[in-house]
Structure 1
């Protein structure tokens, strides 16, 4: 990804190296083919300029000239509108609303389990089981279309795919029951956009032979 100085780059994205929400924003940028400066942030020590730009010093934070955006959904929807091709949301309001509700469910149900697993300790194993059950309960959504609830790639996929990518690293095995989810992931993982979206830390989450 472009690493030039901000003066030569329209967009700057402050991102951590292995966070799902940051990966989500990077995947939108990659799907759009947009060049940007990627600034990797240590969440324990956010840089002073990020603190000045964003009162929460949170990531992802997007800078577009004199505009500063944070909150992942705000960032992703702005990028989809700012760079309309290819569109990452369906045209009709019902389909758009359905995808937005699905994203909210993922943020509230899946991502807390991911964080519990990452924290380790005794709660992690129960979180693995709950995350596996939640994913398998969503099988009909993965079977309904080529992409998540939609015939074309959407903003919802930019959230779902980073979760699926991390499953082996998190120790979550979907088994034969989850073949439709695994197949969905493979369709996205082999795209050039997905490869461009990842940091070195994220690439290392799976053995090379799994995503060549």
Structure 2
């Protein structure tokens, strides 16, 4: 169980050990300092209770008393509203919309490349090149503020940071040109909250 003195309410999170979307939710919970029970799920082997809770039997799945949530974006926005301190979205609608749209682009453009790399084989090399190009094309977004498109940590960072964390493990080298992205990652990786979000498998992705 992951615990914090800031919140005694116990949630249950069904999560795999190294999935980016699961890491996204774990990072959000760590940033909020929220206690939760972590139930590890082997890919392709959902436990019976998860099958009963989630019609897709997938992860992440969040259980809060009688409420069951299983879409990652829905889970993240629910947790940000359920535990409002610290807030992980800006107040103004324009900034919120920009961050939501950025998350959609990452899910549609970056994450499929990560999946292809992890699957291995000949397509992985092309996916590494495409992911590197997409990240470098996003440099202005990393340079725009201290965090991703925002002066403070936001829900978008909970998705971006797990991708950046995995780059060495995925064999994606950004080179000198990508230094702003590396610096961005280090600002988050050195925090206690980020460390709490990691599983043993994710810690092993970086020496």
Report if TM-score (shorter chain) is over 0.5: yes
Instruction: Name the residue aligned to 2:160.
Output: 160
Instruction: Name the residue aligned to 2:52.
Output: 52
Instruction: Name the residue aligned to 2:146.
Output: 146
Instruction: Name the residue aligned to 2:25.
Output: 25
Instruction: Name the residue aligned to 1:43.
Output: 43
Superposition RMSD on alpha carbons, in Å?
A: 1.0
Superposition deviation, residue 43 in structure 1: 1.9
Structure 1: gaps (5+ residues): 208-212
8 Å CA contact 1:60–1:70 kept in 2: the answer is: yes
Map 1:178-193 onto structure 2 (within 5 A).
Answer: 178-193=178-193
Instruction: Name the residue aligned to 2:115.
Output: 115
Instruction: Name the residue aligned to 2:131.
Output: 131
Instruction: Name the residue aligned to 1:84.
Output: 84
8 Å CA contact 1:11–1:62 kept in 2: the answer is: yes
TM score, norm. by length of structure 2:
0.96
Superposition deviation, residue 9 in structure 1: 5.6
> Does the residue aligned with 1:63 lie in a helix, a strand or coil?
strand
- Work out whether 1:65 is the aligned partner of 2:65: yes
TM score, norm. by length of structure 1:
0.94
Aligned partners of 2:197, 2:37: CA distance in 1, in Å? 12
Q: For 1:75-107, what per-residue CA distance to the aligned partner results, in whole angstroms no more than 9, with x for missing partners?
A: 000000000000000000000000000000000
> Does the residue aligned with 1:37 lie in a helix, a strand or coil?
strand
Superposition deviation, residue 44 in structure 1: 1.3
Corresponding pairs, count: 203
8 Å CA contact 1:20–1:163 kept in 2: the answer is: yes
Q: For 1:108-136, what per-residue CA distance to the aligned partner results, in whole angstroms no more than 9, with x for missing partners?
A: 00000000000000000000000000000
Would you identify which runs of 4 or more consecutive aligned residues in structure 1 move more than 6 Å? Answer: none
Superposition deviation, residue 177 in structure 1: 0.3
8 Å CA contact 2:15–2:41 kept in 1: the answer is: yes
Superposition deviation, residue 2 in structure 1: 2.6
